[in-house]
Amino acid sequence: MPHSRAETRRFKTITVADLAFPKREGGYTKGHATREQILHAALVILIKEGYTALSMRRVAAACDMKLGNLTYHFRTREDLVRELLDAVIRAYEIEFEGLARMPGAPPEKRLAEICGLVLEDITTQKTTRLFPELWALANHDEFVFDRVQELYARARAPLIEIIREMRPELSQPSIEALAVFISASMEGMTMFAGSDKPFSAQMPVFESIAIQSFIHIVRSFDPEIGLPGQREKAGVER
């Protein structure tokens, strides 16, 4: 059954903020402003120069402050990176949560909106440079690995919620597998259609293909097809 334009067409283009911060108890203070300045500077260094350049001294210099002032707010680089990645994923969570709970929109539409947001965001310089840097680091740095896994788990939560609404009869492992597959499929476009990549101009076409495919996969997925002894059911030859 062909997909209607209502299912695949985007409502609007949304730009994800670089960072988002929690509401502060007791109002906004100079200390909060300084921490946010530090995190913004760290993000710029991470995007433009890479993780190896993200030293505490380098961040302090970018903020035009003494190293001691920086370590007052963040004792170690790990503390800084932990809060930086938390602010990065919070910015996505804000947008994802809004799209996942769009009043009156069917789940297929909300899935299309979230996927469209992710794919459009992949074309930005920030995302094209930041996430591959984190992927590479996660292979060798346990701290970064844990933070990246946490980041993606939080990002998948709205997908899981929508898939459960579309297919309530599926088991939780099957729902989570669909969410991981959709997320991984989109992330894989980074190296091909991200900022300044060979196929970046074709991202609108890829977005349409992806959204239609993901909706179809969620609607039609049978967790038994493809398992040993079940290939005949799908018409798959050995």
* Domains of the chain listed by start with CATH number: 5-234 (1.10.357.10)
Q: What is the DSSP string of 81-128?
A: HHHHHHHHHHHHHHHHHHHHT-TT--HHHHHHHHHHHHHHHHTSHHHH
Cα distances (angstroms) measured from residue 96 to each of 135, 156, 161, 227: 22, 9, 11, 32
Count other Cβ atoms within 10 Å, centred on residue 132: 14
Tokens of 181: 């597959």
pLDDT tens-digit readout, 75-118: 999 999 989 988 988 888 888 888 888 888 999 999 999 999 99
pLDDT tens-digit readout, 35-74: 999 999 999 999 999 888 999 999 999 999 999 999 999 9
CB 209 within 8 A of CB 189: no
pTM of the model: 0.80
Q: Which amino acid is at 168?
A: P
CB 154 within 8 A of CB 93: yes
